[in-house]
Amino acid sequence: MIPVKGYEGQKVAVLGLGRSGLAAAHALEAGGADALCWDDSAEARDRAEGQALILHDLSKPSAWQDVAALIVSPGIPHLYPEPNKIIAAAMEAGVPVDNDIGLFFRSFADEDWDSFDVSPKVVAITGSNGKSTTSALIHHVLQQSGRPTQLAGNIGRGVLDIDRAHDGEVVVLELSSYQTDLARALTPDVAVFTNLSRDHLDRHGGMGGYFAAKRRLFAEGGPDRAVIGVDEAEGVYLAGQLSEGPSDDRVIRISVDRKLSGPGWQVFARKGFLSEYRKGRQVGSIDLRKIKGLPGTHNHQNACAAYAVCRTLGLAPKQIETAFHAFKGLPHRSQLVGERDGVAFVNDSKATNVDSARAALSAFKNIRWIAGGLGKDGGIESLTADDLSGVTKAYLIGHSAREFALRLGDVPHEICETMGQAVARAAEDAQSGDTVLLAPAAASFDQYPDFEKRGEDFTRLVASVLSGN
């Protein structure tokens, strides 16, 4: 646990008692604060009471007397589409609003660091797609290279629930826009921007607000090094804002769209080959085509980002390449579930928007595509004929099944409604060389509590198919 600094002897309110909220409350108590906890859910309040935390009804007008700060869980809106009433009341009372990420950055360093030979570092990764894989890949490479490391944030453990730092340790944080948007302190040593696509627009009031939330990771604390995906205009803009000139190697540009050139530091992947250039010269390369845990262009972008970070941390290209080959991938992200008679079954339940689904579709051929769920703004309207060229047939499920069907043009498709029916029909139709791919391009909430449960259901159903049951 990371004890929170700066609130000793003060009352700090905590709104939202999920994983991050409970960890924040305990970390505040460990730092000498009085955590006053609240959640609209009676079940969550009971859980907090069971952990000896103090409940404090933050909906009452008198709730803010002598309260030094309000710590908010990431899922609770503070501005768009409209502020949560409790957060609005705190702001009206002049109470500062923060989250666990802000508390972490103000509290991570401690007096033990004076005796360390190598100061710990924090690597923070944000972006629309690829955050989890990039974070896990960096963590994996560091582990394989013998470097002490912890993985936290939107993946792994809550940021305040990790262990206190060791000499030379690297903490790898995956940060969503919900987390970067509100944190009052953001000071990573290395910050990564993978890419940007339309997502969470209601929460941020549009694309401008969404990008602004991501940009805060770079603008608030000024990382020593920034790894920026420049395949979208926003990434090009961000890299330009951070750089002092073409040869400024504090900014590492990455791409999977084109070869990058110039006197600075670049990492890019083309036709399955990753290349690193510095001062106009190639200094490293990796053939990504044979790395089973990183299939497709979208994973090659993740590899470029992870490679660039590991190079800034002093690892050699060969060390990174060896570790890449040992990476098995993450559940629900282009995860190979199994194979039978030349048919592969791949779980990419994390593909909850059209851009991540497009990336998954580009990674395979002869696809039996399982898609649908609770469609987001625009559905799959932006998918082109080229995007769908590898789809042999689509099997559509959930709330948006019929809406998706209208957008598929000449692509053969079938309304299956449920995951069970879709897996059964796709497996029945599949021939050797086909890939049965779950890449929903939609949220899961019409049929499942989250994308993990959706992916687990797919995996269970595939296991039954593979066993012949």
- Asked whether 106 and 6 are in contact (CB, 8 A), the reply is yes
pLDDT of residue 344: 94
pLDDT of residue 197: 87
Q: Tell me what the mean pLDDT of segment 276-282 comes to.
A: 96
Q: 154 pLDDT band (50/70/90 cuts)?
A: confident
Residue set of the binding site for ATP? 127-133
Task: Please give the tally of structural domains in the chain.
Answer: 3
Q: 330 pLDDT band (50/70/90 cuts)?
A: confident
Query: Do 398 and 270 share a structural domain?
Result: no
Give, in order, the Cα–Cα distances in Å from 259 to each of 183, 276, 463.
35, 10, 41
Give, in order, the Cα–Cα distances in Å from 392 to each of 366, 388, 389, 435, 437.
6, 9, 8, 10, 11
* Residues 70-107 pLDDT 10s: 999 998 999 999 999 999 999 999 999 999 999 999 99
In the predicted model, is pLDDT for residue 339 greater than 90?
Answer: yes
Q: Tell me what the mean pLDDT of segment 50-55 comes to.
A: 96
What is the distance between the alpha carbons of residues 321 and 330, in angstroms, rounded to a whole number?
18
Residue 359 tokens read as 């990336």
> Of the candidates 325, 343, 370, which is a domain's last residue?
325
DSSP state of 53: P
Give, in order, the Cα–Cα distances in Å from 352 to each of 197, 236, 452.
12, 25, 11
Full DSSP string of 85-134: HHHHHHHHTT--EE-HHHHHHHHS--GGGGG-SS--EEEEEESSSSHHHH
In the predicted model, is pLDDT for residue 253 greater than 80?
Answer: yes
Helix residue spans in 326-418 (DSSP H):
354-362, 401-406
> Of the candidates 98, 131, 158, which is a domain's last residue?
98
Residue set of the binding site? 127-133
Q: Kindly state whether residue 128 falls inside one of the protein's structural domains.
A: yes
| Structural element, H or E, at residue 368 | strand 367-372
Tell whether the torsion through CA atoms of 107, 156, 120 and 266 is positive or negative. negative
CATH number at residue 448: 3.90.190.20
Query: Do 108 and 42 share a structural domain?
Result: no
In the predicted model, is pLDDT for residue 469 greater than 80?
Answer: no
pLDDT of residue 377: 82
How remote is the C-alpha of 20 from its chain's centroid? 15
Closest CA to 137 of 164, 174, 93, 98: 174
pLDDT of residue 221: 80
In the predicted model, is pLDDT for residue 222 greater than 90?
Answer: no
Give, in order, the Cα–Cα distances in Å from 306 to each of 185, 202, 228, 232.
24, 30, 11, 19
Domain of residue 283: give its range. Answer: 103-325
Collapsing DSSP to helix, strand or coil, 421 comes out as: helix
Q: Tell me what the mean pLDDT of segment 300-325 comes to.
A: 97
pTM of the model: 0.86
Query: Do 265 and 123 share a structural domain?
Result: yes
Q: Tell me what the mean pLDDT of segment 120-141 comes to.
A: 95
In the predicted model, is pLDDT for residue 67 greater than 90?
Answer: yes
Query: Do 236 and 350 share a structural domain?
Result: no
Q: Kindly state whether residue 3 falls inside one of the protein's structural domains.
A: no
Closest CA to 341 of 233, 466, 189: 466
pLDDT of residue 329: 83
Q: Tell me what the mean pLDDT of segment 304-325 comes to.
A: 97
- Asked whether 224 and 189 are in contact (CB, 8 A), the reply is yes
Query: Do 339 and 320 share a structural domain?
Result: no
> What percent of the chain is helix, strand and coil (3-state, nearest 5)?
35, 20, 40
Pairing mode, if any, of strands 170-174 and 225-229? unpaired
